[in-house]
Amino acid sequence: MRYIGSRSGTAISQLAWLTAYDASPTQSGQPRRKGLRRPETSENFVLPLRQSFLKDPRLMPGTTRMLCLLAGWYGTGRPLDTTLAAIARHLGRSVRQVQRYIQDAVEEGYLYYSKRADRLGYVIGLRIGLNVAAIFASKRAKRGQTEAKSARKAAEIQATTLTADTNEKIIFNKGSVGAYERKMMALLDRTGINYTLRE
């Protein structure tokens, strides 16, 4: 057993050392990936992602990992200039496997890319753009709103029917209440909507 992690930094990062096992596939029957070294803890993060993207069953699991990695690199939204080897090194996969991931993501519409060449025409890397609308979660409508207020407002919009701007009051005349009006009043009582019953 060995402890893998950064020995520098805060006390929290020191307590968060991860335990990894040197599992050899020939001795314990474990997959080869079990013997790989865990990445060291860092302060890098990824912006909020859409659950629909993470749940997409059409993507290979490795493609989802690669897109999450690229999403963390995306920064201000400009296309990424990188290489297959760089992506493969960060994911711990081969260049050929990364090519399959990119092709899978292109087929499902999550990214587009073009080859970068030097002055002599030799290919030196890729320029990758992500489908921001399909991957990243949308920004908050107002910066000053708290999460609780946003959640409550969204719940109210989903739970109630929007009323007309011209007439927000519901009025019934007591003298002309029939079967239809009684059903409507019963429905309003169940949904907690106020109404007025005139004499």
Q: Domains for the chain: give ranges and CATH numbers.
A: 1-43 (no CATH), 45-140 (1.10.10.10), 166-199 (no CATH)
CA-nearest of 83, 97, 91 to 36 is: 91
The pTM of the full predicted model, rounded to 2 decimals, is 0.55
3-state secondary structure of 154: helix
Check pLDDT > 80 for residue 121. Answer: yes
Residue 8 pLDDT class (50, 70, 90 cuts): very low
Q: What is the pLDDT of residues 47-87, one digit of tens each?
A: 788 888 989 999 999 999 999 999 988 876 788 899 999 99
For residue 110, the surrounding DSSP H or E stretch is: none
Nearest 5 degrees, angle CA 187-CA 191-CA 197? 60
Mean pLDDT of the chain: 75
Higher pLDDT, 94 or 21: 94
For residue 17, give the DSSP letter: P
